[in-house]
């Protein structure tokens, strides 16, 4: 809720229809000033492992170009969604659950350093992996 100065009745600014994944629902919400309604920038086609789907996304980071990177926890992969894209691409993992360098086990976080290297918190393998990612491909 947002409360205009001097008013005791708040205005619903997002969600308001219980916890969930629909456009009029929130799950673990955070307030974004001025936002009236969210737009889907990754996933949105139900739970699954297709290139338009995510399964328990747990971490997200956006680069300078507006490209969205998502830690897709239950698919053991990192997805890249260029700004305006209707489907993403797998850039890390996606080779089944495992502990090899090309596999993940429940990724839950990600971040870039100033050189463009991607760091992935690989929760189930108790490690952080570093990847050199070219955001133009």
Is 137 contained in some domain?
Answer: no
Tokens of 37: 């309604």
pLDDT given for residue 137 in this prediction: 41
Give the domain extent around 119.
57-132
pLDDT in tens, 46-61: 899 999 999 999 999 9
- Examine the domain organization and report whether 62 and 35 are in the same domain: no
11 pairs with which residues across the strands? 2
Domain co-membership, 84 together with 20: no
| β-bridge partners, 68 | 62, 81
Sort strands 57-62 and 68-72 into parallel, antiparallel or unpaired. antiparallel
pLDDT by 10s per residue, the chain, length 137: 555 666 666 666 666 677 777 767 767 656 566 777 777 888 888 899 999 999 999 999 998 888 999 999 999 999 999 988 999 999 999 999 999 999 999 999 999 999 999 999 999 999 999 999 875 44
Q: Are residues 63 and 128 in the same domain?
A: yes
Question: Is the domain of 31 the same as that of 63?
Answer: no
Handedness of CA 12, 14, 15, 19 (dihedral sign): negative
Q: Give the number of other Cβ atoms within 10 Å of residue 134's Cβ.
A: 7
Residue pointed to by tokens 């747990």:
58
Q: Residue 46: inside a domain, yes or no? A: no
pLDDT at site 38: 78
**Cα gap 89→99, rounded to integer Å:** 21
Residues 67 and 123 occupy one common structural domain: yes
19 DSSP 8-state letter: B
d(CA 18, CA 42): 21
Query: How many separate domains does the chain show?
Result: 2
Cross-strand pairs, 116: none
């Amino acid at each position: 809720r947002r409360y205009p100065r001097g008013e005791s009745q708040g205005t619903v600014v997002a969600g308001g229809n219980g916890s969930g994944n629909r456009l009029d629902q929130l799950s673990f919400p955070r307030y974004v000033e001025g936002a009236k309604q969210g737009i889907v920038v990754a996933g949105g086609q139900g739970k699954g492992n297709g290139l338009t789907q995510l399964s328990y996304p747990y971490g997200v980071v956006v680069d300078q170009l507006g490209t969205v990177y998502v830690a897709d926890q239950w698919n053991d992969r990192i997805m890249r969604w260029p700004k305006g894209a209707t489907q993403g691409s797998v850039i890390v993992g996606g080779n089944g659950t495992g502990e090899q360098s090309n596999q993940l086990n429940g990724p839950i976080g990600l971040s870039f350093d100033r050189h463009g290297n991607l760091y992935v918190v690989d929760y189930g393998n108790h490690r952080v992996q570093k990847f050199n990612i070219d955001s133009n491909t």
